[in-house]
Structure 1
């Protein structure tokens, strides 16, 4: 395994983690909006 492969794997893993974190945050915001509109 060379340095570029390690770099690509690390960056893609970071991108996947950021995407899942942002989707989780977005889902929480959407639930908050739904609760606010329901009241």
Structure 2
């Protein structure tokens, strides 16, 4: 039971990190699109 809780916490942490990096990538691509539009 204890190891199950630890595994659950690790999965949540991994998913959170994935979501954060995905959000940063989306923000970066939006910023790049805006810069490309402004420079053209």
Structure 1 unaligned blocks of 5 or more: none
Structure 2 unaligned blocks of 5 or more: none
> 1:4 maps to what in 2?
3
Matches of 1:3 and 1:34, distance apart in 2: 47
Cα root mean square deviation, aligned: 0.6
If the length of structure 2 is used for normalisation, what is the TM-score?
0.86
> 1:27 maps to what in 2?
26
Aligned residues: 38
Residues 9-39 of structure 1: CA distance to partner in whole angstroms, max 9, x if unpaired?
0000001111111101110000000000111
If the length of structure 1 is used for normalisation, what is the TM-score?
0.88
* Structure 1 stretches of at least 4 aligned residues deviating more than 2 Å after TM superposition: none
